Structure 1
């Protein structure tokens, strides 16, 4: 699936600021890929990564799909050109990225919901059912007053892979209410309206982290 000459897109895991780099595969030996020094898409400058740096790699395959895997800088080598050596987990550990704007995953996250206008409803805390960078589904309390096409504020706690937490306050719009059956609670589907680029990237990264983690566990 990966061949010499293929272009890779690289980002550093757990970096404070999102930045993407481009590189090409120069050689492949077993579970290691030899790549040329990555170049920042933003600045055009060559990047120098320390050994042990954890990275996330994506690439376009011949089937036109995009695949992703977690990797690590394991060394460097100089032959005709200087190269970085990165680990490759194998084809079975690759994650195929869905062909849509936002990847949605099942995930239980703490969330607080507040009205934009105080008279609309009483604030409440709950959990998400699923989430993407475009929106989420939230369990509703009994006797709620949430309706479709309402605007509200959501306060979301996002656990990161480095053990830290990322807090998001988002203006949202309710899309639809899904009635619970057999005693289960109603669910509201919401759309995020004003996420910053950084917030969108953090949620997207969280979704990919969860998918890759489940893939590693063989789920």
Structure 2
């Protein structure tokens, strides 16, 4: 996998409530810096002026149609015949390959609160995606397969932000694994902003897991 000159990038802000996307191309790459042309806002079709220090998630496709994403930050601008914006380029091992499935699921503990028929329960999830979660059930619960519940997921980000995702959900399946009851739950009414928060959280955790694995080698 290589980020080549001329590659089209889609940039999404990582720390904002606004649902924006910007299209640009890689003009030059020197060391750990990518130089891009001035991006176009895909909603307004107008040139965007990115602020130094702004953080984004970049997406691109390779010549073999594989999709990757990475975290980046605006470092500044470079003059010349072509005005360019400088972006931080992470090492190749920090590029995340995007799975073909609709939502990427990451194995990480997440605090989950569930309300069902007036009773409240606290759980720890073993994984989460923008489509659902799997929770460990250690004590008896009142809900069963097929029940609709009200769910809150607590997402702690590495920069200190904490997001509370509130959604209705369906208990898809309850089963036993390794002498532990597990409930598979599907989110049913998460809005676009909450889905973006979950996707960003999963991506961030993937990066952290990848770094930990590399450090253990």
Same fold per TM (> 0.5)?
Answer: yes
2:27 corresponds to which residue?
Answer: 26
SS state at 2:59 partner:
strand
Equivalent of residue 171 in structure 1, options 168, 189, 205: 168
In the other structure, the counterpart of 1:188 is 183
User: Residue 58 of structure 1: CA displacement?
Assistant: 1.2
1:213 aligns with 2:208: yes
TM-score, reference length from structure 1: 0.90
Q: Answer whether contact 1:33 1:87 (CA < 8 A) is retained.
A: yes
Cα drift, residue 218 of structure 1: 3.8
- Residue 12 of structure 2 contacts residue 20 of structure 2 at CA under 8 Å; is this kept in 1? yes
Q: Answer yes or no: is the 8 Å Cα contact 1:155–1:170 preserved in 2.
A: yes
Q: For 1:58-77, what aligned pairs fall within 5 Å after superposition?
A: 58-77=59-78
Q: Which residue of 2 aligns with 1:197?
A: 192
Unaligned runs of 5+ in 2: none
2: CA distance between counterparts of 1:87 and 1:178?
A: 45
Q: Is the 8 Å Cα contact of residues 23 and 39 (structure 1) preserved in structure 2?
A: yes
- What SS does structure 2 have at the residue aligned with 1:195? coil
C-alpha deviation, 1:145, in angstroms: 3.5
Q: Is the 8 A contact 2:150 2:169 kept in 1?
A: yes
Distance 1:178 1:211 in 2: 26
C-alpha deviation, 1:190, in angstroms: 0.5
Within 2, Cα distance between the matches of 1:93 and 1:160?
A: 18
Listed one character per residue, the Cα deviations across residues 97-122 of structure 1 (whole Å, up to 9, x for unaligned) are 1111100001211111111x44xxx4
Q: Unaligned stretches of 5+ in structure 1?
A: none
Say if 1:37 and 1:46, in contact at 8 Å, map to a contact too: yes
Query: Which residue number in structure 2 is paired with residue 87 of structure 1?
Result: 88
Is the CA contact 2:17–2:193 (under 8 Å) kept in the aligned structure 1?
no
Cα drift, residue 173 of structure 1? 0.5
Distance between the aligned counterparts of 1:42 and 1:100, measured in 2?
Answer: 26
Per-residue deviation, residues 164-201 of structure 1 (Å, max 9, x unmatched): 211122111111112144xx431100000011111111
Q: 1:73–1:218: structure 2 CA closer, same or farther, 3 Å change rule?
A: farther
Cα RMSD for the two superposed structures: 1.6
| 1:14–1:162 Cα contact (<8 Å) kept | no
Query: How far apart, CA to CA, are the structure 1 residues paired with 2:19 and 2:160?
Result: 18
Q: Secondary structure at the match of 1:186?
A: strand
Tell me whether 61-70 or 185-194 shows the greater mean CA deviation. Answer: 61-70
Output one character per residue of 1:48-90: Cα deviation in whole Å (capped at 9) or x when no partner: 1222222221100122111111122122112222100112123
**What is the TM-score normalised by the length of structure 2?**
0.91
